[in-house]
Amino acid sequence: MRLSDYLDKGASLGGDAPCLTVGGASTSYAEVQQRSRLIAGALQDSGIAPGERVAVLSANDPLALTCVFGISRAGAVWCPVNPRNEAAENRELLDLFGCRCLFFQEKFAPLVRRIRGDLPALTTLVCLDGSAAGAVSFPDWLREHGREPDPVEVAGDDLCVLAGTGGTTGRPKGVRLTGHNLETATALTLMSYPISHRPRYLALAPLTHSAGVLTFPIMTKGGETVVMPAPDLGEFLRLVEHHRITHAFLPPTVIYGLLDHPALDSTDLSSLECLWYGAAPMAPARLVEALHRIGPVMGQLFGQTEAPNMISTLSPADHFLPDGSIATDRLSSAGRPTPLTRVAIMAADGTLLPTGERGEIVVRGPLVMAGYHENPEATAEVSRHGWHHTGDIGHLDPDGYLHIVDRAKDMIITGGFNVYSAEVEQALQAHPAVLDAAVVGLPDDKWGERVTAVVQLRADRKARADELVAFVKERLGSVKTPKQVEIWPDLPRSKVGKVLKAEIRGQLTEQCRAPRPSTEG
């Protein structure tokens, strides 16, 4: 299937049904379908051949998503570009992908001006919602070139998405995702979570990431996607109630903000079937709170760009035991491996480890990417021993649940002992005053590395560093207890809400190379 086939499937269930909604205005399936055809024909008329790359640089926007389906219909490859990236990273990605065409919103025109001179292959620029120097406006472009597209033959192993990843540790890499990869992700979503006929999906998180991939299974059921152009938790709650939203995806940090929002308890959330969470671990204590206050609708997904969303899942029902009580032992897990995916734990020498032993989480199956774009060395490294290496350390328990204990690069070796930062973070997050926490290792003459924690407190709570140290020590013992605790007003985060540990480590190293007492928060 092409990406446009998911749209067509939804249209076959009723062309007049709402497909994309923003600001109270809806566009029907038939209208989105027809516009995507005109976009496909315009791309072909502009010289974009099947297999060539077309980028979309936009905040959440129905027209930008419609362009994705037009790109697919033309047989071209969608290259999602995150507008929150630095200009240099986006320039490097567009150059790596060899993009021929770029759709962008007017507010990103300054960014486009900065990078386009270094991209000679980029010959067609289309401004979606206004005008920009050197670009044609979308209405003018469609008026001149829009037409029914020429038919394009595609195969399941054809490239359909080129997504950037890995820009924090060197040159960004391009993940090659095929039609089979996206079919698998869509099928696994439909298998793993409750999705009724004509669901209503609220897209607050960036459509360039997991939130975008989740629109495809919604469309197969003829569902409506309500698009939020900018994140706003108050507006999110209002839209859930107003549109009777059934599904949404939020990173854990955003769910924490939702739990602290004054309007949460007075909002009618009874329409929700599944609130997906992922992209980072969620503190079990906050997850319990969400199950009580948001409802028995939480659904975890674990994946990465190279194996989108569905390596393992924890459905809403899996959060509970048969007697209806919360399955507390499962809440720190990433759920069970999905039906079409093999997950194992591997030692450094390639040996597969037995149940309960910790090692790197490795994956096989049709969910896994076709490799990194024009980077055979990185592809060979990540697929050594015949498995895709996630870079995460974890173990499988006797019931088959996958537990992620750390990123391999974040493991701390202190006094000869391995300390997994995620375990310490979960202990800190169990404290009632802690909103979020990040744990890193800093160089130490005595210990090799010392366990160091940076904590963000809830707005209405206070805690001392020594109090937090004692709290963790009681739960984990002295080896895993932070020897240094810093209390910061906020933690640096990536575009998708992940805490930036490299930045934290750098800031702490600059401050001082020896522990010092933290001030009261």
The type of residue at 327 is A
| pLDDT value at residue 170 | 57
Please tell me the class of the 411-511 domain: alpha beta
CA of 276: how far to CAs of 91, 146, 249, 397, 494, in Å?
32, 37, 4, 23, 19
Looking at the predicted structure, is the pLDDT value of residue 190 above 50?
yes
| pLDDT value at residue 283 | 84
Looking at the predicted structure, is the pLDDT value of residue 410 above 90?
no
Looking at the predicted structure, is the pLDDT value of residue 168 above 80?
no
Instruction: Quick: pLDDT tens for 44-77.
Output: 999 999 999 999 999 999 999 999 999 999 999 9
303 φ, ψ (degrees, to nearest 5): -165, -170
| pLDDT value at residue 516 | 52
The type of residue at 255 is I
On whether the CB atoms of residues 6 and 219 are closer than 8 A, the answer is yes
Q: In what order do the strands lie in the sheet with 448-457?
A: 434-444, 448-457, 484-487
Looking at the predicted structure, is the pLDDT value of residue 175 above 70?
yes
Instruction: Quick: pLDDT tens for 292-343.
Output: 999 999 999 999 999 999 999 999 999 999 999 999 999 999 999 999 999 9
The type of residue at 442 is L
Average pLDDT, the chain: 92
Model confidence band, residue 169 (pLDDT cutoffs 50, 70, 90)? very low
Q: Which two tokens stand for residue 339?
A: 């039906």
Instruction: Quick: pLDDT tens for 72-91.
Output: 999 999 999 988 777 888 89
| pLDDT value at residue 495 | 63
Q: Which residue has the tokens 């004692």?
A: 470
| pLDDT value at residue 37 | 98
| pLDDT value at residue 399 | 96
| pLDDT value at residue 167 | 46
Distance CA 425, CA 421 (A): 6
| pLDDT value at residue 78 | 97
| pLDDT value at residue 166 | 56
Looking at the predicted structure, is the pLDDT value of residue 519 above 50?
no
Give the other-Cβ count within 10 Å of 190's Cβ.
Answer: 14
The CATH number of 26-176 is 3.40.50.980
| pLDDT value at residue 509 | 83
| pLDDT value at residue 85 | 79
On whether the CB atoms of residues 36 and 73 are closer than 8 A, the answer is yes
List Cβ neighbours of 10 (8 Å cut-off, separation of 6 or more). 17, 19, 29, 219, 220, 221, 222, 223
Instruction: Quick: pLDDT tens for 263-297.
Output: 999 999 999 999 999 877 788 889 999 999 999 99
Q: Which residue has the tokens 């959060």?
A: 319
Q: Which two tokens stand for residue 322?
A: 């048969």
| pLDDT value at residue 496 | 63
Q: Name the residue with higher pLDDT: 386 or 443.
A: 386
State whether the Cα torsion 332-425-469-435 is positive or negative: negative
Distance CA 279, CA 254 (A): 11
| pLDDT value at residue 406 | 81
| pLDDT value at residue 83 | 83
Looking at the predicted structure, is the pLDDT value of residue 513 above 70?
no
Mean pLDDT of the 139-165 span: 93
Instruction: Quick: pLDDT tens for 100-113.
Output: 999 999 999 999 99
Looking at the predicted structure, is the pLDDT value of residue 420 above 90?
no
Side-chain-facing half-sphere of 259: CA atoms under 13 Å? 22
Look up the pTM and report it.
0.85
Instruction: Quick: pLDDT tens for 210-252.
Output: 788 999 999 999 999 999 999 999 999 999 999 999 999 998 8
Domain residue ranges in the chain: 26-176, 411-511
Instruction: Quick: pLDDT tens for 335-373.
Output: 999 999 999 999 999 999 999 999 999 999 999 999 999
Work out the angle between the directed axes of helices 62-73 and 29-45 (0-180°, nearest 10): 60
| pLDDT value at residue 320 | 97
Portion of the chain with pLDDT greater than 70, in percent:
97
